[in-house]
Each structure stands twice: as C-alpha cells, then as structure tokens.
Chain A
Amino acid sequence: MSVEGRKRPFFTAEQVSWILVAPLLIILLFFLFLPMLTLIQVSFWDYNEWTFFPAFIFDNYVYIFTSNVTFATYWKTIQLTLWTWFFCTVIGFTVAYFLAFHVRSLTWQIALFLLCTIPFWTSNIIRMISWIPFLGRNGIANSALLEVGLIDAPLEWLLFSDFAVVLAFVHLFTLFMVVPVFNTMMRIDKSLIEAARDAGASGFRILIEVILPLAKPGIMIGSIFVVTLVMGDFITVRFMSGGQSTSVGRVISNEIALLQYPAAAANAVVLLATVTLIIAVMVRYVDIRKEL
C-alpha cells in the first residue's frame, strides 16, 4: 500500500492514548479521587448533636491525636492485622506450595484451586455467622472436645474473643494470599528446582533458598490485600468479638451511626494515611512490579 494512498488518521497518536485511558480515568476520578477529596473536605467540618456543617477546623484531628482511645484502637487493630497476616501467610504459602509443586497434573491443580474458592461463593457475613454455632459455649467445637474428654468445661475464649476475630479473618482472607502466591510459584521455572537439587539442596533448602525468595513478590501482594482488608474491617470485629473488641473501622462506623460525619471522615483520613504508609514501607522491600 502506498503512503499517499493511506488516509490521514482521524486522531493523532496522543489523542488515541487519551481516549484509551479515559474510561479508567473517569472511573478513578468519580469513584476514587472525588469521594476522597470530599472525605478530606468533610474532615475539617464541624458538627453538633444533630447535624454537621461546613467549617474549617482542626478539632477533629486534634481530638484523634490527643485521645488515648485512638492509640489503643490502632494498637488493637495492628495486633489483629499482624496475627491475621501471620496465619494467612503461613496457610496461604503452604496451600500455594502444595498446589504448585506437589500436585503434578494441571487438571488437578485447577480442580483443587477451584475447591479453595468455593467458600467465596457465599457472602462474608454468612461465612462469619456460621462460626457462631460452631464456636459457641454449647457449640460443636466445645461439645466435641467435652465428649472426647480433652476439656472439663466449655472453652470461653472460642467465641466473642480476639481468637474468634482472627479465626474469622483468616477464614475470610487466606485466599487473597493463596492466589498471588500460587501465581508467582507457577511462574518459577521447574528447572530451577532441579538445578538446586543437582547442586545438592534438600527439599527444605530448596524451599528456603529458591522458592521462598522467588515467591516474595506474591507474598507481598497477598500481604497488601490482607493488611488493607483487615485494617479497614469493622463488621467482622463486631460480630466475632461480640462487641468486646474494637478496631479503627468500628470507631468510624460508630461515629457514622452517631451522625458525627466530620469526626468519622477525619478518622478515615488518618486510617487511609496509616495504611498507605504501611504499604509504602512494604513495597520498599520487595519489588512487586514484575508481578503486575
């Protein structure tokens, strides 16, 4: 085809780029940046017992940073996050490792992987509530343990405790660790494992020296999921702790219930900043770009 014969393109290359980016840009603009700006704006507003109104005051922030409750709440939230992260990582890594390196056929890998996702076909709330009859004082767990004779009296800490909260979190969020770790592991060249074995590495050394370092980006992506999900949660903490434990998310949800929107907004901004900071620190140590 001759050059003269070609029609001049309707859009320039730069315009085409903008058009292609536009849908995502619009979505992010309206559903992320705009709400976030509103949030920040409202966090400086004032409120009383029955309404809130435009202003530019720092009281909301001053209250957050001077209240002992804030630090206690953040400490509690971070504790819950750390425990959940720990168990999600250990379980998630193990499951992914099993799927990627011990299940030989692709068919079985896919089948077992889908099996892992089945719990996700029901809603979070239902899955959470299902734990209650299981863990309760006269629940299945306690009855079984009593029957077997391992305990003399029902274990009180099974339900409505931090244990129950972490258990529910782990149940809800482990898959978010399994998926990215499995994905990274599947990309590990199997000949690397053989090369390590050729070099004299035992199965355990291969795990520590080769698989773990190469799975790090996947672990990091999973960690980001788990940390953000747990840090922002309010419903699991309320249900599973029976209202006895607290988290930043719960504080915000309570403030919203009391129509203290500016206070809730300020809390949300601080939480957002904290989570962003945590993630920034995390990605500093592991390069996740090659996974994206």
Chain B
Amino acid sequence: MAMRYLELVGVTKRYGDTLAVDAVDLAILKNRYVCVLGPSGCGKSSLLRMLAGHEIVSSGDIVLSGRNITDVPPARRGTAMMFQNYALFPHLSVRDNVAFPLKMRGAEKTERYREADALLARVHLEAYAERKPAQLSGGQQQRVALARAMITRPQILLLDEPLSALDPFLRVKIRSELKELQRDLGISFLHVTHSQDEALALADLVVVMNGGRVEQAAPPREVFNRPSSEFVARFIGGHNIHSGARGTVAVRSDRVRLSDEPDGALSGVIGDLEFLGTRVSVRVNTRDGDFTVELADGDFFAAPYDLGQSVSLSWDPEDAHPLLA
C-alpha cells in the first residue's frame, strides 16, 4: 500500500559554479501532503522546478510511479504546477484558462469546456466562468489556478508558495481548502513554502532544506519535537538552543520552566514580555544568550514577572533534545 511514488535520487542543480540543489534524495508516498520548507535561496524552488520539468536536472534522477521522468517535457511527466502568482492568462476567460491544458492536447471545445466547468464547480467558481482573471479576488484566482493544474489529472501537484500572495486571514482559510482538496483527490501535493506554520499545519511530511540539502524529512511532529540540527530547530521556531556540558541541545520554549528562586540551570534577567493571546512569551537574557520561555497566559498572570526581574531557568533532561553539529 505504502508504495514509493515519487522518488528523487541524487538530484542536483548547478548554476555555473553555484550549487543550488545538492544531491537530494527523497522518497514520497502516494496520497501525501508534502511541504518543502526552507529560507529563500535554500534550493526549494529549484527542486520544485526540476520536478515540474522547468529546470534541467544537472545530475540525478526523478522517478514518478516507476517511470524515470528526469528528462521528460513538463506536460508529459504526470506533474502539474501551480505558480506562485498563479500565472493565469489575462486575456482568457476563467473557463478558457482552466481548459487551456486540454486545448493544448487537442481536445474538442465541448469536451474541454465540460471538464473545465466540472472543475470550476468543484472549486465553487462556476458563476465566474466568463470573467477574466483580473476581475477575481486573489483567493478566487488561486482556485482558478488550482482548477487549471488539476484538469490534466496529474499524479502529483506541485505548488510554488501558493499562499504567499494572500492576506493572512485568507491564507488560513485556503490552507485548509488545499488540504481538503488533496484528501479528496487522493494524489500527492508537493508544496513549497518558507512558512513553518504552513508546513506544520498542512504536511504529512515536512522536508526542511538548507543550502541545497535536505536537513530533515519527517512528519511535522517529529520535526518540531526532534529537530535534527540547529538549523532546523532555529528555522522551525519555538526552540531554545543551548550549548552545555552535554553538547548542543534544543529545548522547546514551552518546556522551559521559569522561577524566581536562583536554583535553575541558568539564570538571567527578563528582557522582554510579549502577550500573544493564549500565551505569554518571556525573553530572558542569560550569559549564554537569549532564551524564550512561553507560558500559558493563565499561568503567567497568576504569578506575573516584571521586566528586569532576575529569574532562573530549568528544564527536564528528557526535554533537552540533542542536536547534531
């Protein structure tokens, strides 16, 4: 059942002397939501574009459903890409945009319009079929782009930062729609993002990239609870990195205990307090650098701390997660 579906073997991309993607190995199962996460310039977009066939693979192989698609042109790979700014054709109606891939495959007008209308209904845009993309809101344009990507029935949908052009409120809404759609379609989605919230919320598998390499590929809980490297811990957020007697460890901010008795492992002074609604984030300046401690708002206001107050920090040994270099 859990067959290997998309497989990347030593996939590398060089631009002249710069190595954008450095020998990435990755196996993705069927019907999974995969988020490739990383800062800009980490190679995640190049990786996606190589998967889509818009970038030539310098070396390595890409296998989709047992077929080596490394050098297959984009339309014949069984992939479809949704572009960051949606890349809808401004001169075509919504219906013609969605039907465009079928037109390129030589489908009859009635047939391709029927399919396009069915997909538009699926994304609740049937009423907008005659409009031009510019007459739609950002969220609607995004759904048109999705419909256009799905019309060729791809085996995997590649999404390049699909939510970055939306406002925060809509982002959360569309995020859940994407996940729902992926479950409905039963295909894999590969979603490139630089937002750790997005990745944690959506993904079955989070692939954290840095400097062209995969730092960690694991389910979101594992990435969050057991970051494999300092980079992952820092990038995913919510962690304090501490170098001590037992090497470098990552401690989740909500697992650090705060006390006004000087009996903790580390002492410091409160440098900043941020109220985050359900939690309060406390920044403690210690001789080993800044620590962030997150307390539930109830706990904090039951025994509040003041700026400048001397405190000590402690944590349970099992919460200190050792990091590789």
Partner of A210, one of B73, B74, B89, B101: B89
The answer to the question of B237 belonging to the interface, with a C-beta cut-off of 8 Å to chain A, is no
B residues in contact with A198, CB < 8 Å: 52-54, 74-75, 80-81, 101
A residues in contact with B73, CB < 8 Å: 197
Pair B104/A192 contact, Cβ less than 8 Å:
no
Contact with B along A186-227 (1 / 0, CB 8 A): 000101101111111100010001100110000000000000
Pair B74/A197 contact, Cβ less than 8 Å:
yes
The answer to the question of B173 belonging to the interface, with a C-beta cut-off of 8 Å to chain A, is no
Contact with A along B64-93 (1 / 0, CB 8 A): 000000000111100011011101111100
- How many whole Å from A188's CB to the nearest CB in chain B? 9
- How many whole Å from B190's CB to the nearest CB in chain A? 14
A residues in contact with B152, CB < 8 Å: 199-200
A-B contact pairs, 23 of them (CB 8 A): A189-B87, A191-B83, A191-B87, A194-B54, A194-B87, A195-B81, A195-B83, A195-B88, A196-B100, A196-B104, A197-B54, A197-B73, A197-B75, A198-B52, A200-B74, A200-B104, A201-B104, A209-B100, A209-B103, A209-B104, A213-B91, A214-B90, A214-B91
Question: How many A-B contacts if CB must be within 8 Å?
Answer: 57
Decide: A194 near B75, CB < 8 A? Known: A199-B101, A200-B105, A205-B104. Answer: no
B residues in contact with A196, CB < 8 Å: 89, 100, 104
B residues in contact with A189, CB < 8 Å: 85, 87
- How many whole Å from A171's CB to the nearest CB in chain B? 32
Q: Which of A213-271 contact B (CB under 8 A)?
A: 213-214
A residues in contact with B32, CB < 8 Å: none
The 3 closest A-B pairs by CB, nearest first: A200-B75, A199-B101, A195-B87
A residues in contact with B148, CB < 8 Å: 195, 199
Interface residue SS majority, chain A: helix
A residues in contact with B104, CB < 8 Å: 196, 199-201, 205, 209
B residues in contact with A214, CB < 8 Å: 90-91
B residues in contact with A195, CB < 8 Å: 81, 83, 87-89, 148
B residues in contact with A209, CB < 8 Å: 100, 103-104
Interfacial residues, chain A to chain B (CB-CB below 8 A): 189, 191-192, 194-201, 205, 209-210, 213-214
B residues in contact with A201, CB < 8 Å: 75, 100, 104
Complex: A160 Cα to B310 Cα, angstroms: 98
- How many whole Å from A210's CB to the nearest CB in chain B? 6
Pair B75/A192 contact, Cβ less than 8 Å:
no
Nearest chain-B residue to A210 (Cβ)? Answer: B89
- How many whole Å from A44's CB to the nearest CB in chain B? 47
Given contacts A195-B148, A196-B89, A197-B75, 7 further A-B contacts (CB under 8 A): A194-B81, A195-B88, A196-B104, A198-B75, A198-B81, A209-B100, A214-B91
Complex: A197 Cα to B152 Cα, angstroms: 13
- How many whole Å from A225's CB to the nearest CB in chain B? 23
By CB atoms of chain B within 10 A, which of A192, A198, A200 has the most? A198
Complex: A205 Cα to B103 Cα, angstroms: 10
Complex: A274 Cα to B85 Cα, angstroms: 44
Complex: A196 Cα to B54 Cα, angstroms: 11
Complex: A272 Cα to B152 Cα, angstroms: 53
A residues in contact with B91, CB < 8 Å: 213-214
Pair B85/A191 contact, Cβ less than 8 Å:
yes
Pair A192/B89 contact, Cβ less than 8 Å:
yes
Complex: A171 Cα to B104 Cα, angstroms: 37
Complex: A108 Cα to B104 Cα, angstroms: 32
Contact with A along B209-245 (1 / 0, CB 8 A): 0000000000000000000000000000000000000
Complex: A213 Cα to B104 Cα, angstroms: 16
Nearest chain-B residue to A213 (Cβ)? Answer: B91
Nearest chain-A residue to B81 (Cβ)? Answer: A198
Pair A194/B83 contact, Cβ less than 8 Å:
yes
Pair A192/B87 contact, Cβ less than 8 Å:
yes
- How many whole Å from B134's CB to the nearest CB in chain A? 10
A residues in contact with B89, CB < 8 Å: 192, 195-196, 210
Complex: A209 Cα to B89 Cα, angstroms: 10
